[in-house]
Structure 1
Amino acid sequence: MRVLLLKEPRDEESGPDPYLKELESHGHKAALIPVLSFKFVSLNTFSDKLFQPEKHSGLIFTSPRAVEAVKMCLDMGGRREEWNKSIKDKWNSKSIYVVGKATGALVQSLGLKPLGEDTGTADVLSRLIIEREDTNIPPLFFPCGSIKREVLPMALRENGVPLETLTVYQTAEHPDLEKNLKNYFTEQGTPASIAFFSPSGVKFCLEVVRRLSGEQLNEIKFAAIGATTQDAMTAEGLCVSCTAEKPTAEHLAAAIATALQ
């Protein structure tokens, strides 16, 4: 059966996208359509902060994009050697928090040691941070996107854990989204299942998906990568057929396979 994944493809360097691979292993034909486009901002400020680890008690990464921004800072200033020689070790003597395995793997590629890869959501990560951190510490540093949810900053604030945030990328709708969706529906027909990966994905895609699928909308099994995305889908009146137990390719593919049986 055909499954449409509304997400960004994995970086080509890191091999085939695991979501496509997992769904194929369940016998389904999956396709990806990127939903978001990203523009990096404030990289000079970010670079300055990255090279002053003594001012913070740790780092928080909740998205692969924020880690990409670090790589851009290192390449942009030609500062990779300095990073590898001394700066990364200074950060490694502190806490480096991440949400999810994909972000964790990218953080490791910077030579950093991530904590919290199994948390899966900002909500669960914030609980881990609150358990581990004191209130009388220099602030944790959180590079984030323009449409970050307030769950983590609010939880830390309420528990007195100091936090400093910096917006390092802005999120917008992918310029070719509507065209790519139309092409998919024209060439492949209405898919058996459509998976959403973020509330912004729901916001940007749903109206077009409704229009293109017409009367077949109710036959589509809609899948969510996690509870936050599921809530956004339900709020729009979608019937969610399945939600991944954890935000991984294995868990999502297993949930979709069960829903399509």
Structure 2
Amino acid sequence: MNVLLLKEPREGESGPDPYIKELASYGHKATLIPVLAFKFVSLNALSDRLFQPEKHGGLIFTSPRAVEAVRMCLDANNRREEWISAVKEKWNAKSIYVVGKATAALVRELGLDPQGEDTGTAEVLSHLIIEKEDTSILPLFFPCGSIKREVLPTALRENGVPLETLTVYQTAQHPDLEKNLTDYFSEQGVPASIAFFSPSGVKFCLEVVRRLAGQKLNGIKLAAIGPTTADAMTAEGLSVSCTAEKPTAQHLAAGIAQTLQ
């Protein structure tokens, strides 16, 4: 059966996207349509903070884009050697927190040792941080996107854990989203399942998907990568057929395969 994945392709990976590969193992044909476009901002300010680890108690990454912004800083200013020889181990002496395996893998490529990759959501990560950190630490540094949810900053603030955020990328709708969705529905028809990967994905895609699917929308099995996305779908009046137990290709594919049996 056809499955539509409303997500960006995995960067830096050769071969098929892991979500396409996992769904293929269950006999389903998956197609990716990128939903979001990103613009990086405040990279000079980010670079300043990255090279002053002594001013922070640790790092928090909740998205691959934030790690990408760090990589851009190191490459743009030719500071990778300085990072490797003099800076990264100072960060590694502190806590480096991440959400999700994709983000953790990119953080490791920077030479950093992440923890929390199995937390799956910012909410669960915030519990881990509150358990581990003392309120007297230097502020944790959290480079983030323009439409981050306030769950993690609020939880840390309420528990007295100091935090400093910096917006390093802005999120917008992918310029070709509507055209790509229209082409998909006209060429492949209405998919058996559609998977959403973020609340912004729900916001940007829903109107177009509703129009293209028409009366058949109710017959589509709608999947969510995690509880935050599922909540956004429910808030729009959608019936969520499955939510991945963890935000991985294996868990999402297993959930979709079960609902399509």
Identity percentage over the alignment? 81
Contact persistence 1:6–1:32 (CA under 8 A): yes
Q: Which residue of 2 aligns with 1:167?
A: 167
**Aligned residue identity for 1:8:** E
- Could you say if the C-alpha distance between residues 133 and 12 of structure 1 is closer, same or farther in structure 2, counting changes exceeding 3 Å? closer
Q: Deviations over 1:218-246 (max 9, x none)?
A: 11000000111001101111111111011
Instruction: State the 1:129 CA deviation.
Output: 0.2
Q: CA deviation at 1:27?
A: 0.5
1:84 alignment counterpart: 84
1:115 matched residue in structure 2: 115
Gaps of at least 5 residues in structure 1 are: none
1:37 aligns with 2:37: yes
Corresponding residue for 1:7? 7
| TM-score normalised over the length of structure 1 | 0.99
Structure-2 residue corresponding to 1:136: 136
Partner of 2:182: 182
Aligned-residue Cα RMSD (Å) equals 0.7
1:116-173 C-alpha deviation (Å, 9 max, x unpaired):
0100000000000000000011100000000000000000000000000000000000
C-alpha separation in 2, matches of 1:84 and 1:107: 13
Q: Distance in 2 between matches of 1:192 and 1:139?
A: 47
Specify the alignment match of 1:249 in structure 2.
Answer: 249
Secondary structure of residue in 1 paired with 2:126: helix
Deviation digits for residues 193-250 of structure 1 (CA, Å, limit 9, x no counterpart): 0000000000000010000011111110000001110011011111111110111000
The SS at the match of 2:170 is strand
Displacement of 1:12 in angstroms is 4.3
Residues 101, 118 of structure 1: 8 Å contact kept = yes
1:228 counterpart letter in structure 2: T
Is the CA contact (8 Å cut-off) linking 1:10 and 1:16 kept in structure 2? no
1:113–1:14 distance in 2 versus 1, CA, 3 Å: farther
The residue type equivalent to 1:2 in the other structure is: N
**What residue in structure 1 maps to residue 55 of structure 2?**
55
Quote the residue 2:218 is aligned against.
218
One-letter code aligned to 2:35: V
Q: Provide TM-score, normalisation by structure 2.
A: 0.99
Match of 1:46 in 2: 46
Which whole-Å CA distance do the structure 1 matches of 2:96 and 2:6 have between them? Answer: 29
**Matched length:** 261
2:96 and 2:11 mapped to 1: Cα distance? 23
C-alpha deviation, 1:14, in angstroms:
4.6
Distance in 2, matches of 1:86 and 1:104, equals 22
For 2:144 and 2:19, how far apart are their aligned partners in 1? 24
Q: What code does the residue aligned with 1:61 have?
A: F
Other-structure match for 2:195 = 195
Instruction: Give the secondary-structure state (helix, strand or coil) at the position aligned to 2:136.
Output: coil
Secondary structure of the 2:111 match is coil
Give the superposition deviation at 1:11: 1.2
**Runs of 4+, deviation exceeding 4 Å:** none
Aligned equivalent of 1:153: 153
- Unaligned segments of structure 2, at least 5 residues: none
Tell me the residue number matched to 1:23: 23
Q: Distance in 1 between matches of 2:218 and 2:69?
A: 40
